[in-house]
Amino acid sequence: MIREPLLFVATCDVSGRVRGKAFPLDLIEKRAGRGVGWTPTNVQITCFDAIAESPYGSLGDLLLVPDRDSRVTVDFEDGSPAEDFMLGDILTLEGA
């Protein structure tokens, strides 16, 4: 099965789970500058499935901005496209 190559931008929530968002790899230039939409509660979910307190609150919008220096490509050598990963910085819409 051939599919479109994706880039997964990852961050960790307060319980250490890796969470993130993927987008088509050919959008890397656009997304590396502005990021992808992210909801504050995505990073606040604890290991007990409760929402922890944070400076972001539980409503609103954030950005998950890929860090270009953290890019890793994994080739599974099974005929499928390689998978790309980057760590992401969580920012407000104002860039803070």
Q: What's the CATH number where 56 sits? A: 3.10.20.70
Residue 1 lies in a domain: no
Residue 60 — very low, low, confident or very high, per pLDDT cuts 50/70/90? Answer: low
Q: How does 41-78 read in b/e, with b if 16+ C-beta sit within 10 Å?
A: bbbbbeeeeeeeeeebeeeeebbbbbeeeeeeeeeeee
Residue 84 lies in a domain: yes
Q: What is the mean pLDDT of residues 80-96?
A: 89
Task: Tell me the chain's radius of gyration from C-alpha atoms.
Answer: 15
Domain region containing 55: 6-92
Nearest C-alpha neighbor of 41 from the set 22, 66, 60 = 60
The domain total for the chain is: 1
* pTM, entire model: 0.79
Higher pLDDT, 21 or 15: 21
Q: Is the pLDDT of residue 75 over 70?
A: yes
Residue 54 lies in a domain: yes
Residue 63 lies in a domain: yes
Q: Is the pLDDT of residue 69 over 70?
A: yes
Please tell me the predicted confidence (pLDDT) of residue 56.
63
Q: Is the pLDDT of residue 40 over 70?
A: yes
